[in-house]
């Protein structure tokens, strides 16, 4: 089992670098991150909507595909709403991220405890999990009152998470089983 974990070292390392890079981008260019993400999200939702409508009309009889067409229209409406209201949509996404931070922090703590014999100094992973949970709680309590501040705070946590992930992956790689 432990050798199996070690075989995934490159993926752990890549994850660490990508998360740290995303953290740096979020810290230094929060407006770019917010706008780019919301435009990308809207584009994906619009693409799904168009796809559902095309599928609905291509499959015969159309009466059997009314729900697909309605679903496609709903996706289109949400995609347009996100494009026209990027800031408000970002606030909704940040609220969802709040929940994911708390959940992700708990998972980080559990994983750090589970692999403590491999990585040693598991307290860093546990600390990172606690910081991530704290971030989720602070955002939920509206500690950071604007989305730029929130994105920068998220970027800081991502940077720390990335660095700790890189460190953990190096420990996993060098561990002798």
Each domain of the chain, given as residue ranges in start order, spans 2-174
Phi, psi dihedral angles at 8 (to 5 degrees): -95, 10
Residues near 61 by beta carbon (within 8 Å), at least 6 away in sequence = none
* Mean pLDDT of the 11-40 span: 90
Helices and strands (H, E) in the chain, number of each type: 8, 0
Q: Tell me the per-residue pLDDT of 84-141, one tens digit each, with 9 for 90 and over.
A: 998 888 888 888 888 998 999 999 899 888 887 777 777 888 988 998 899 888 888 7
- 39 with 86: CB under 8 angstroms? yes
Euclidean distance between CA atoms 15 and 114, whole angstroms: 19
Q: For the chain, what percent of residues have pLDDT higher than 70?
A: 93
Concatenating the DSSP letter of every residue in 12-78 gives: HHHHHHHHHHHHHHHHH-HHHHHHHHHHHHHHHHHHHHHHHHHHHHHSSSGGGGHHHHHHHHHHHHH
Residue 151: both structure tokens together: 């994105």
Euclidean distance between CA atoms 94 and 8, whole angstroms: 31
- 26 with 33: CB under 8 angstroms? yes
Residue 143, pLDDT score: 57
Residue 152, pLDDT score: 85
């Amino acid at each position: 089992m432990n050798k199996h974990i070690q075989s995934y070292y490159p993926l752990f390392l890549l994850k660490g670098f990508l998360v740290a890079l995303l953290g740096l981008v979020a810290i230094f260019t929060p407006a770019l991150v917010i706008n780019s993400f919301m435009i990308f999200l809207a584009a994906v939702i619009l693409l799904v909507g168009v796809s559902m409508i095309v599928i609905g009309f291509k499959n015969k009889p159309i009466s059997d595909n009314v729900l697909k067409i309605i679903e496609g229209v709903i996706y289109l409406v949400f995609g347009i709403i996100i494009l026209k209201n990027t800031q408000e949509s970002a606030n909704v996404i940040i609220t969802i991220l709040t929940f994911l931070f708390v959940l992700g922090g708990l998972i980080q703590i559990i994983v750090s405890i589970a692999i403590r014999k491999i990585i040693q100094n598991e307290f860093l992973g546990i600390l990172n999990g606690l910081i991530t949970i704290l971030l989720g709680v602070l955002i939920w309590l509206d500690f950071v009152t604007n989305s730029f501040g929130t994105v920068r705070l998220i970027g800081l946590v991502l940077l720390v998470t990335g660095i700790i992930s890189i460190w953990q992956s190096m420990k996993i790689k060098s561990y002798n089983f």
